[in-house]
Structure 1
């Protein structure tokens, strides 16, 4: 079998693979994927910023903001208490920094948000598997259910 457009075939394969991974993922894994998505979009935006591609830079920063907004909206303040409140403030700050990075073409602000997200993700990745199924967890996320 040959393809006239190998990039299109690869893109279709990646999309299908991602849909399969999402449908089979635990709630804990979904959050890991979202955090990884933020990091990917920031890295892509950084590359576009360095090349002066304003449209794609803005599109990728917007996508990162959208993912962070989803993480923010899924916080469970009743279960998460102070940690959820701290994450809310951090997510708000990250969104503001990304907005400023977009407006001012600031690689430093992109890097700052990427560093913050890597720190959050590292903490999330360290949660033992035995806690992945619990409704209440250290991040106060309502998306982690039994």
Structure 2
């Protein structure tokens, strides 16, 4: 247990350091990557019937989606920001349904949407 706590603390510190040094594009990428990692945990917890852990993982995913959505500048971002808002909302609703029914089949589309967004942000960051 202590080793896990130490590892968790180390990973948290590393994440905070990366976030502090990141530009906005990389922050979005970090959030999306964190979302995808947590989404895999949701799937694993459902399959293992660890529903309390699933609930915590779903909450983390929803918090990340909320953070991404809150960061949108809908006035300056125009149609792109509106489209991202709708995608984040859609992913959140899908995730809620997955959690409610403990059915992982709905995760594939959420994973695909967020992976596509990640790929797009990576291309922007590289440009």
Aligned pairs (5 A) from 1:23-62: 23-62=20-59
Query: What is the root-mean-square deviation in Å for CA atoms of aligned residues?
Result: 1.5
1:102 alignment partner in structure 2: 99
Q: For the residues of structure 2 that align with 1:8 and 1:72, how far apart are their CA atoms?
A: 31
Q: Give the number of the structure whose alpha-carbon radius of gyration is greater.
A: 1
User: Structure 1: how far apart are the matches of 2:115 and 2:76?
Assistant: 23
State the alpha-carbon separation in 1 of the partners of residues 59 and 96 from structure 2. Answer: 8
Which of 63, 73, 86 is the matching residue for 1:66? Answer: 63
Unmatched 5+ stretches in structure 1:
131-146
TM-score computed with the length of structure 1 as normaliser: 0.81
Number of the residue aligned with 2:5: 8
Task: Please state whether the residue corresponding to 2:124 is helix, strand or coil.
Answer: coil
Which has the higher mean CA deviation after the structures are superposed, 5-14 or 100-109? 5-14
Specify whether residues 115 and 8 from structure 1 end up closer, same or farther in structure 2 by C-alpha distance, changes over 3 A only: same
Gaps of 5+ in 2: none
Q: Does residue 84 in structure 1 map to residue 81 in structure 2?
A: yes
Q: Name the CA distance, whole Å, in 1 between partners of 2:126 and 2:29.
A: 13
Select the structure that is richer in helix: 2
CA contact (8 A) 2:95 2:107 kept: yes
Aligned residues: 127
Shift of 1:23: 1.1
Find the counterpart in structure 1 of residue 109 from structure 2. 112
Looking at structure 1, the residues matched to 118 and 58 of structure 2 have their Cα atoms a distance apart, in angstroms, of 18
Per-residue CA deviation, residues 40-93 of structure 1 (Å, 9 max, x unaligned), is 110011000000001111110111011001111111122211111111111111
Runs of 4+ in 1 over 2 A off after TM superposition: 4-9
